[in-house]
Amino acid sequence: MSLSITGGEALLPERGLTPADIHTDGGLIVEKGAGGRRLDASGLLVLPGIVDLHGDAFERQIQPRPGVAFPMDLALAETEAQLLANGITTAFHGVTLSWEHGLRSKETWALLLAALAANRPRQMCDMRIHLRWEAYNLDALDLAIAAIDAGEVHLLAFNDHTPGMVRKIADPAAAAKYSERAGMTPDAFQALLAGVAARVSEVPAAHARITAAARAAGLPIASHDDPSVEKRAEFRAEGARISDFPMNEPTARAATEAGDWVVMGSPNVVRGGSHMGWASAATMVEAGLCHILTSDYFYPALLQAAFILAERSDGLGKRWDLISANPAAAAGLTDRGHIAPGLRADLVLVAATPAPRIVATIAGGRVAHLTAEGAARLH
């Protein structure tokens, strides 16, 4: 199937935004059109598809309320619709594989992997797995390594929320949050947490095993919530070259100086700051200390953040790299992130005024999302 996108301003490597017609055929960007359909992009920007390295908003489709779960197929279908409507053509689902019951359990993990595999032939968004491995989840270690070995995991991130949960569990609000998510009573959850935390001596060996499996599989590796320069250095020595949400500027600066990718959330930019009270993503970007923005928990924030930052400085080209070229490079995906012949035909058509909005999303050369305005432009 071929498609020509004509009359728009395309974001091209080394050239920035420039009037250009973009042609696709067989799922790839090609130099010349081959007939087929035409999408009139007059007055629109034609941008590379968004690559989201860390998004967990899909959890709200699986469990929209604590203890209320929906079938995985339905949850993934709704998630894909939201991704494409927000211009995200490659999505790394940040799946937390925890010792917790319920939403982040090994049972939910297995259901998600099975649903993704079954639905992949019908999916337009390239949905991948960002395994957020909880350090104390010792009973699921073999399950996680088997998924890595089978090629079902595309990025590994080290997470260690257990010590923080131990510190917070005495707070009734925190206890209620954790227990509701797990579908347990607060007392039962507290007992489970105590049993898990008691196995602290086994954690280093488990960490070494899963790290070795990821390295053998050639996976990009990230560490999440790096608290210090020293901890980032430890993870870097193990092959983790992505610092996912460093907690402070000195850690982000050390990561940047060492050539690591620094990742922060786009909601932080849109809201004007971190909801956790941590570093400002916009400030970090402008200081050259953040190279990738992700959806984190809200898919629409990616598009908005790129435009907000573009208005503040440097123009759209460099800022769009934060949500397309840079995450693709960090993930080792050399076939996307730019508009150039031979690359995947992942494209987003955006009306920049009066406020940025997506008119159409092209995923793998197929029209994957089309607003009413977009439909009127397709011939």
Q: What is the pLDDT of residues 232-257, one digit of tens each?
A: 999 999 999 999 999 999 999 999 99
Instruction: Tell whether 194 and 143 lie within a shared domain.
Output: yes
Banded model confidence at residue 296, pLDDT cuts 50, 70, 90: very high
Do 164 and 283 share a domain, yes or no?
A: no
The burial of 7, by beta-carbon neighbours within 10 Å (0-12 exposed, 13-18 middle, 19 or more buried), is given as: middle
Q: Which of 21, 15, 14 is nearest to 347 (CA)?
A: 21
Name the nearest CA neighbour of 155 among 59, 263, 227.
263
Q: 120-147: per-residue pLDDT in tens?
A: 999 999 999 999 999 999 999 999 999 9
Burial call 150-183: b when 16+ CB within 10 Å, e when fewer: eebbbbbbbbbbbeebeeebeeeeebebbbbbbb
| Residue ranges making up the domain that contains 131 | 50-219
Q: Do residues 20 and 85 both lie within one domain?
A: no
Residue pLDDT, tens place only, 15-38? 999 999 999 999 999 998 777 899
Q: What is the pLDDT of residue 246?
A: 94
Residues 202 and 233 placed together within one structural domain of the fold: no
- 201-235 per-position pLDDT tens digit: 999 999 999 999 999 999 999 999 999 999 999 99
User: Are 35 and 175 in a shared domain?
Assistant: no
Edge-to-edge strand list for the sheet holding 16-19: 16-19, 9-12, 45-48, 347-351, 357-363, 366-370
Q: Return the axis-axis angle of helices 106-119 and 72-85, rounded to nearest 10°.
A: 60
Of 203, 254, 261, the C-alpha closest to 228 is 254
Tell me how many domains the chain contains: 3
Whether 114 has a pLDDT exceeding 80, the answer reads yes
Q: Are residues 207 and 258 in the same domain?
A: no
Same-domain pairing of 36 and 103: no
140 & 268 share domain: no
pLDDT at 309: 96
* Confidence check: pLDDT of 102 > 80: yes
